[in-house]
Chains A and B, each alone.
Chain A
């Protein structure tokens, strides 16, 4: 049998300088940290840059924005850009206030109703036994494979035939049921031990009572996440309102796709040329509420996103 040569560790040991090795490791660790923090800082700057750019651009004068020399902070702060954008309808014709009211109304109603329906459905699928439950659940999950555009088409025809175009109803009703959130909540409900259900029953609680008094409080974090994500989804909805409603009945996001000009001459000579600074002011106003929401509900939003993985 061939002899396997072992590396001679023992012999090397006396030459091993502990102090030197420790120092080497320390330097290596510092170098690594410098590298990692530089990389992360660079990425963080890139992640934040568009927001910074959007804010400073919205506060610049158009002349400053257009000059070849880059300024990282506006020379004169133009709050007036916001005034112009707010007082003047964009080229789309609808005002910010109108669209904000639309968005809050539609977002609020569809979020509340949507969450109630999600809770009821998820509870039935998780806790109740009825014939055809598994079939229903399978079909519901199956629809998640199908791109939403396929239903948008028919819904467009349905809405036209029902005479629901240019109403709030059509913005709310088709999107009340979210199969994914139902699935998410059902899984959450399933995690609650069955013994709780049994003892609640013995105490004479009905299914509805059990749902409201036990299940909902226990799954509150998930419910908050779903509520927030649903509302953010409404805030960001663009395609459907654009397709189905005229400007008066659209949502806040539809507002920023249009150009903004100073045709009343509030900033200088009147012209119908689209101005970038005004557009950035509009973009800021649409983005800012989401940031405020994020600051207050960071935990729930991040948890919800990591669980659901859908945008709105």
Chain B
């Protein structure tokens, strides 16, 4: 049953609140209107009478309103980005760090880095150096090759009129894929099914090579005779080929997209001038088109190398979660995740710091190199 007195009471409170809110809003609006008026009046600074503390506070709120907008992002960044970065720099130097143990760590020093670089972590599988070599070779073979190929494709794409959109769309398709799913598909291209049974398939690539009279190779196994050894580093080159082919295929769409749009924005007058001067097609490509879109090419090389140094999922897609046999196809990121999973966080932190330094070095080299050439 409704109590009329109660109802009255709440209504009163409601009215009070409303009135307060309205006066607050009015104050706010007035302030705003004044400020806008001041701003719009021929740049004259609004000089009012002495401000009260309340007005000062409101003005302060108004001026710093931006913080309100960035607060959600700021809190999330602080907890999940800023703090972790600082934390990584600290933890990497703490020996035997274990978040669950009461003492947390046993000492401070470079022990983690020394052990990671020496490969003396007490865990089998690929060492950090092996992972570094793997990652570097994958990247420095696949990125330039796919950029060059992308350049040729985009030039071809740019020179046609009919079906241009259709070709562009088909060539872009590989971008939208899940690298784990497509890695699994590429693995089937190279896999010989079954064990030495002559009735089993040798995989699409071996079938294609068979047309040229090449004996089937067990690409995914990389057994004896298919491994180069340099000191401690093993290079099973057949597996490298698989990774590089996949990386080129998956890297092309983005590069084509970027280079094609760069080509379309090149001023047509350059080509007309070249034509009048009697420059050949290939000369036009290498002496005019390429230098003009050099900024985009160097951008692609930089981002490609930075992305390549961080690759991980494509290898898992191709070779499974063990990254080959006992992580022999491991990448640097794979190395870090392996040590998170087995709880040796100190090595993971040290590895991540090394990865950071390596990426920084490549970025600086790239920027220096591209500074010289990119002057257009």
Contact = CB atoms under 8 A, between A and B. Distances in A.
A173 B80 CA distance: 9
B285 interface: no
A44 B171 contact: yes
Interface stretch (A10-18, A79-87, A145-153): A145-153
A283 interface: yes
Interface in B240-279: 249, 252-254, 257-258, 261
B40 A239 contact: no
Contact of B70 (A124, A143, A155, A283): A124
Contacts of A123: 69
A149 B355 contact: yes
A53 interface: yes
Given A121-B70, A204-B29, A146 B153 contact: no
A168 interface: no
Interface stretch (B111-119, B127-135, B180-188, B217-225): B180-188
A33 B254 contact: no
A287 B171 CA distance: 16
Interface stretch (B46-54, B58-66, B228-236): B58-66
Interface in A258-301: 276, 279-280, 283, 286-287, 290-291, 293-294, 298, 301
B313 A46 contact: no
Contact of A65 (B180, B201, B312, B337): B201
A150 B85 contact: yes
Contacts of B91: 153-154
B174 A36 contact: no
A243 interface: yes
A146 B356 contact: yes
Interface in B46-93: 63-67, 69-70, 72-74, 76-77, 79-85, 87-88, 91
A30 interface: no
Contact of B181 (A161, A173, A201, A253): A253
Interface in A24-55: 32-33, 36-37, 39-40, 43-44, 46-48, 50-51, 53-54
A71 to B, nearest CB: 10
Query: Which residue among A67, A136, A151 has the maximum number of chain B CB atoms within 10 Å of its CB?
Result: A151
Given A39-B156, A150-B356, A290-B178, A67 B201 contact: yes
Interface in A198-216: 198, 201-202, 204, 206-207
Interface residues of B, number: 96
Given A131-B64, A158-B79, A202-B36, A149 B336 contact: yes
B171 A147 contact: no
Contact of B345 (A57, A148, A157, A256): A157
A68 B200 contact: yes
Given A66-B200, A151-B88, A279-B184, A143 B72 contact: no
Interface stretch (A94-102, A174-182, A217-225): A174-182
Contact of B257 (A177, A202, A305): A305
A109 interface: no
A125 interface: yes
A239 B180 CA distance: 11
B153 A66 contact: no
B167 interface: yes
B70 A47 contact: no
A140 B317 contact: no
B176 A149 contact: no
A246 interface: no
A221 to B, nearest CB: 15
B375 interface: no
B289 interface: no
Given A173-B76, A176-B76, A239-B312, A153 B249 contact: no
B360 interface: yes
B250 to A, nearest CB: 9
Nearest to B170: A44
A136 B175 contact: no
A70 to B, nearest CB: 6
Contacts of B313: 238-239
A256 B176 contact: no
Given A236-B179, A280-B185, A128 B65 contact: yes
B180 A290 contact: no
A117 B310 contact: no
Contacts of A146: 85, 356
Interface in B25-50: 29, 32-33, 36, 39-40
A51 B186 CA distance: 10
B293 interface: no
Interface of A: 32-33, 36-37, 39-40, 43-44, 46-48, 50-51, 53-54, 57, 65-68, 70, 117-118, 120-121, 123-125, 128-131, 133, 136, 139-140, 143, 145-158, 160-161, 173-174, 176-177, 179, 182, 198, 201-202, 204, 206-207, 232, 235-236, 238-239, 243, 253, 256-257, 276, 279-280, 283, 286-287, 290-291, 293-294, 298, 301-302, 305-306, 309, 311
Given A68-B200, A152-B84, 20 more contacts: A37-B160, A39-B152, A48-B170, A50-B182, A66-B199, A125-B70, A130-B65, A133-B66, A143-B82, A146-B85, A149-B310, A153-B349, A173-B76, A198-B39, A236-B178, A236-B180, A238-B313, A243-B337, A257-B180, A302-B172
26 contacts: A37-B160, A48-B170, A50-B189, A65-B193, A66-B201, A67-B200, A68-B201, A68-B202, A70-B204, A117-B72, A128-B66, A129-B63, A131-B63, A152-B84, A153-B84, A157-B345, A158-B79, A202-B40, A207-B65, A256-B184, A276-B188, A287-B178, A290-B178, A291-B173, A291-B176, A309-B258
Interface of B: 29, 32-33, 36, 39-40, 63-67, 69-70, 72-74, 76-77, 79-85, 87-88, 91, 99, 152-153, 156-157, 159-160, 167, 169-182, 184-186, 188-189, 191, 193-194, 198-202, 204, 207, 249, 252-254, 257-258, 261, 281, 303, 310, 312-313, 316-317, 320-321, 333, 336-337, 340-341, 345, 348-349, 352-353, 355-356, 359-360, 363
Closest A-B pairs by Cβ, 6 of them: A154-B84, A130-B66, A124-B69, A128-B66, A151-B84, A121-B73
